Amino acid sequence: MQQRQRKLIGTIVLLLFLAVYALTIMAFSAGRIMDASPPAQFLYFLIAGLAWVLPAGLLIRWMLRPDQAASTSRKPL
């Protein structure tokens, strides 16, 4: 798969992931976290606010991976 194709697929997946992640975190926090103590809320929002970075970073690393060289070597002209 070429880098151009990986970037297209990765961009779509990243946008979908972030939308689903944000909605999930928001729904969970509206239902349960608002009743927790302020330190627990702070810890939750700190972790939830940074947890998306690792999967996004791995996806971006995959997107930017260089193309593999062709299996047949070309002779220079």
Q: What is the pLDDT along the chain (77 residues), one digit of tens a residue?
A: 899 999 999 999 999 999 999 999 999 888 888 888 999 999 999 999 999 999 999 999 999 998 886 555 566 66
Q: 28 is in which domain, residue-wise?
A: 3-63
pLDDT of residue 1: 83
Residue 55, in any domain of the structure:
yes
Does a structural domain hold residue 39? yes
CA distance 19 to 17: 5
What domain count does the chain have?
1
Is position 68 within any domain? no
Residue at 48 is within a domain = yes
pLDDT for res 9? 95
- 57 belongs to a structural domain: yes
Distance of alpha carbon 35 from alpha carbon 6, whole angstroms:
42
- The pLDDT score that the predictor gives to residue 76 is 64
Is 17 within a domain?
A: yes
